[in-house]
């Protein structure tokens, strides 16, 4: 199958996976698991969402990670304030890289932007150097599908409650 054929199939699978809910918590969890399974050599895939003060750890796959990242710090905080994707082929060359998992060698961070609002970032780490240059545009397309299928304003009315 051609690369675009695989992309189309992944997009279609993702759309049906995310068609049951617009809830940002469940969709973020499903999306992290989907990406973690789809690509080889990943050691972390997940979200940080902005709470008005810091980027707070959201749903993810991988080892335990730092709870909060200050906007402007690390790869995540930098992509967040710049509102653009940051592809880091070698994290050891990025001065302000925050090392949550010492096995990481490359990283990509894609901001979550809907209707001009930046809600947070999607962060993926790999044990392989330069894992993301070839798949960056595919990842961005898949993140775009995730964004289309998710209502981020739901964060304020998620609907969990005690009885």
* C-alpha distances in Å from residue 47, one per residue of 18, 68, 126: 16, 11, 15
Closer CB to ligand SME, 125 or 152, in the complex: 125
Determine which helix (DSSP H) or strand (DSSP E) holds 96, and give its type and residue range. none
Is-contact 158 23, C-beta < 8 A? yes
SS3 114: strand
Closer CB to ligand SME, 96 or 140, in the complex: 96
Closer CB to ligand SME, 113 or 121, in the complex: 121
Chain residues 95-134 in contact with ligand SME, contact rule CB under 6 A: 97-98, 100, 107, 123, 125
Q: Name which position in 14, 18, 35, 76 contacts ligand SME (CB under 6 A).
A: 76
Parallel/antiparallel/unpaired status of strands 86-88 and 106-114: antiparallel
Closer CB to ligand SME, 69 or 149, in the complex: 69
Taking CB under 6 A as the rule, does residue 142 contact ligand SME? no
> Nearest distance from residue 98's CB to ligand SME, in Å?
4
The number of C-alpha atoms within 13 Å of 118 and in the hemisphere containing its C-beta is 21
Closer CB to ligand SME, 146 or 149, in the complex: 146
The number of C-alpha atoms within 13 Å of 43 and in the hemisphere containing its C-beta is 18
Neighbours of 100 (CB within 10 A): 19
Query: Count residues contacting ligand SME (CB under 6 A)?
Result: 13
**Contacting positions for ligand SME (CB under 6 A):** 44, 65-66, 69, 74-76, 97-98, 100, 107, 123, 125
């Amino acid at each position: 199958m051609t690369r675009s054929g695989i992309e189309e199939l992944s997009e279609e699978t993702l759309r049906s996976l995310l068609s049951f809910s617009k809830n940002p918590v469940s969709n973020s969890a499903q999306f992290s698991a989907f990406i973690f399974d789809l690509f080889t050599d990943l050691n972390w895939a997940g979200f940080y969402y902005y709470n008005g003060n810091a980027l707070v750890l959201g749903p993810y796959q991988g080892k335990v990670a730092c709870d909060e990242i200050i906007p402007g710090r690390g790869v995540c905080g930098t992509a967040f304030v710049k509102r653009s994707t940051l592809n880091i082929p070698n994290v050891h060359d990025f001065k302000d890289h925050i090392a949550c998992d010492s096995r990481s060698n490359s990283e990509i961070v894609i901001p979550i932007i809907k209707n001009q609002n930046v809600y947070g970032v999607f962060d993926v780490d790999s044990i392989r150097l330069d894992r993301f240059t070839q798949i960056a545009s595919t990842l961005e397309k898949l993140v775009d599908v995730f964004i289309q299928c998710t209502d981020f304003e739901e964060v304020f009315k998620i609907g969990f409650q005690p009885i």
